[in-house]
Amino acid sequence: MKKILVANRGEIAVRVMRTCKKLGIKTVAVYSEIDSKSLHALYADEAYCIGDNAPSKSYLDMDKIIEVALRSGADGIHPGYGFLSENSQFCKAVKDAGLIFIGPDEHAIDVMGNKLAAKEAVRHYNIPMVPGSGKAITDVQDAIRMAEEIGYPVLIKAAAGGGGKGMRVVEDSPSFIESFERATNEALSSFKDGSVFIEKYVTKPRHIEIQIIADQFGNICYLFERECSIQRRHQKVIEEAPSAIVSSAMRKAMGEAAVNVARACNYTNAGTVEFLVDEKLNFYFLEMNTRLQVEHPVTEEISGLDMVELQISIALGKSLPFSQDDLKIHGHSMELRVYAEDPYNQFLPDIGTLQVYQEPTGEHIRVDSGFKAGDAVSVFYDPMISKLTVWGLDRASCIAKMKAAINEYEIIGVKTTLPFGLFVMNHEAFASGNFDTSFVPKYFTTDIMDQEDDNNAMIAALISNQLHLSNGKEDYVLKNRRSRWMARKQ
């Protein structure tokens, strides 16, 4: 393979291109009009405008992307994540055009793209699943009967969905009808499929996923787990590997279950099997994501593997260069998704120009970014600016390194999730490992953040004062000084 088109934008496009360049493979970028000066368009060897700013007229336009791939002489297409990455029609169209799709085949995407079809496929492998309807439901009365049979609280989930869309937790029967209607309407709007299913809601759940990699010869390995329980709006913000609660025996059981999920659909390439873990450490299959995950860097950091390089190798028909016994966990890694969102205002997306953008540097600090100083964060796309990933010998040193990296990160122009990341790293529940997916509603308040900001500002002022005193200089504590986080939120 001599040239790859990356059918995506932002940090994931740049990240894929970096591995391509390492392998001596030329890269082709596609971009919308607003992205003409974006980092991914500038980083690629070639770049082509494929439409205006609306995703449906650019990054979701299969025909235009394939046309550019053929015109540029690309051998294959890497879809990244989001957009067309889990679209089986796109996968088939790429292959029909004589190009290599760097991912699984359309059959696996179809089976795992529907949660009910996925559950049916893996049922033959005796993989544990949360009690539920087992079939799509569109009639509210049928749904009510099913909820009463399962027992409240229940979870309504879009059959064709993901990313928390079309999902509602229902605590009791009086609120069921309204929640059902909202879930089905959101599912219809997001996925053009209003069908949902009902399952028992697991209280105090952990969200833990297993990275798998599979070649075309039936070899499948699991690359350990990622803890993804720090979420807002059912979407991940902080991930780490390994999990603080997973023992070696549990890791082996979950890993082997994930491998069987992959076998259930004859999976090839990189994929992620997601599980829900209850208070007693029982795990239940949720779904499989048939693409490279946003949080794959933490797996790379603890395994020493390049996931994109493995993807390309498998797409070229090569076998895995290792077996399960060859794989070991090295240290600990954490990732913070740096979103242009205001944590002081319910994590609402923010837009604006990055007047200052300075990434932290240092040993074992990694930043996957799609932005540079002067770029604008627009309303058209996901508000992720970058992913900040750190590695340490153990979890405690990893937390300390993440704190230092966050404090070094300089972003002015938009509000970001950086202060939220610092809040999490400083919280006792996170440090102890005793948390679940309800961390944000349970612990996170702006009042607490404000108090932490004031405390941090006072500590900084006292340290500064002591340094000046030790140098024989005049005592000057800026009593009214506030931290840079507080300054930026105003």
Known catalytic residue at 18: no
Task: Give the separation between CA 412 and CA 377, rounded to whole angstroms.
Answer: 12
Nearest to 241 by CA among 211, 269, 281, 220: 211
Q: Which two tokens stand for residue 105?
A: 């085949």
Between β-strands 341-342 and 348-349, what pairing exists: parallel, antiparallel or unpaired? Answer: antiparallel
What sign has the CA pseudo-torsion 101, 104, 107, 109? negative
Order across the sheet with 154-158: list the strands.
167-170, 154-158, 196-200
Task: Give the separation between CA 96 and CA 76, rounded to whole angstroms.
Answer: 12
Q: Please, are residues 19 and 308 in contact by the beta-carbon 8 Å criterion? A: yes
Task: Give the separation between CA 488 and CA 371, rounded to whole angstroms.
Answer: 19
Say which residues have a Cβ less than 8 Å from residue 466's Cβ, sequence separation at least 6: none
Nearest to 284 by CA among 387, 388, 371, 155: 155
Which residue out of 226, 291, 337, 395 is catalytically annotated?
291
Q: Which whole-number Å values give the CA distances from 54 to 277, 341, 383, in the listed order?
A: 38, 21, 15
The distance from CA 96 to its chain's CA centroid, rounded to whole angstroms, is: 30
- Give catalytic residues, as residue numbers: 291
